[in-house]
Amino acid sequence: MYLITGFIIAYVITTMLGSRIIPFLIKLEYGQIIKEIGPTWHKNKQGTPTMGGLMFIVGIMVAASVGYMILLFTPAYNHRYDGVIHGLKFFSGILAATGFGAIGFVDDYMKVVKKRNLGLMARYKTLWQILVGSIYLICLYFAGQTSTVIIIPFLGQLDVGFAYYLFMLFIIIGTVNAVNLTDGIDGLAATVTTIAAIAFLSIGSILKLHSVQLMAACLMGGCVGFVRWNIHPAKVFMGDTGSMFLGGMMVALAFTIEMPIILVFIGIIYIIETLSVIIQMCYFRISGGKRLFKMSPIHHHFEMSGYSENKIVVIFSVITIIGCLLAILSVIHMIKS
């Protein structure tokens, strides 16, 4: 009951807010600024309202709150203990994602309102991300997640001691920024994240973690509701507000099941997008100005190679499905071993 409720509330609120927020953003002239270095045909998207991520942020937060209240009264859920421990993990994850979304909102605000094309300065953005990520790790620690053992899918476990926290902080910030890079064409980030949410829903079911299932169901509902407005040709963009929030949700789900490294599989597209940027930059410097890809992140390379935006979304979704299946198999392998 709580899963269906979470999904429906997130979907309905996100969908309904679209008809309200989009005209409001257009009225305020909060339109996306297309960079000169981008694909020339993206100039047609100039002025499309951004910050649309607010739609699913509100939808997911409301759905999560209502869903968790229902979950507390579910017979299979031991609310005397789980309600406190898992509740802290659950809501600290949601709030951490919202914190990252707030950083993205400031970035978007500077771009579209203050007309600063680069938005929030990179060093300040990173500092705020480190702060939010650190607070989240502290919350997990006080929720009883004190182990410094890293579970490596299919391989086993490795205790890295204090280095665990530095490594986890790197994963948190890396994931948030990787999802942000993935949000470059209509419907891509929301669709890929929907598939990722389904994977976490499945893993939560296998591990019997009700809070993970609920979080994933709410995320899935919000993303599906947003895709309606964001599918090509997009009527609204999620902006950094939305993409950083989604990155935070990916982090929250992975850390709640205590398997952050599983993002290597579930977030395979996020990683490929990030690596394409890093490889492009390194190759540019080493080769003295040459480019390996026509443009990075890699979804732009495919665009400039003649692929339509919808086709790219389909291809990247298939790759995500394969990665998610590997993630689910790794969890099953962990349980059996």
Percent of the chain exceeding pLDDT 70 equals 90
> Helix, strand, or coil here: 199?
helix
Q: Contact, 175 vs 273, CB < 8 A? A: no
Q: Are strands 156-159 and 149-152 parallel, antiparallel or unpaired?
A: antiparallel
Instruction: Write the pLDDT tens digit of every residue in 5-59.
Output: 999 999 999 999 999 999 988 887 766 665 555 555 555 666 788 899 999 999 9
Compute CA distances 151 → 115, 325, 330, whole Å.
Answer: 44, 18, 10
What tokens does 108 get? 């978007």
- Distance, C-alpha 208 to centroid of its chain: 23
**Half-sphere exposure (Cβ direction) of 324: Cα atoms closer than 13 Å:** 21
Across-strand partners of 152?
Answer: 156
Q: Contact, 172 vs 100, CB < 8 A? A: no
Residue type, 288: G
- pLDDT confidence of residue 121: 86
Domain boundaries, given as residue ranges, for the chain: 2-263
- pLDDT confidence of residue 188: 97
- pLDDT confidence of residue 88: 86
What is the mean predicted confidence (pLDDT) over 88-109? 94
Q: Contact, 226 vs 90, CB < 8 A? A: no
- pTM summary value: 0.93
Query: Which residues 6+ apart lie within 8 Å of 312 measured at CB?
Result: 185, 188, 299, 302, 303
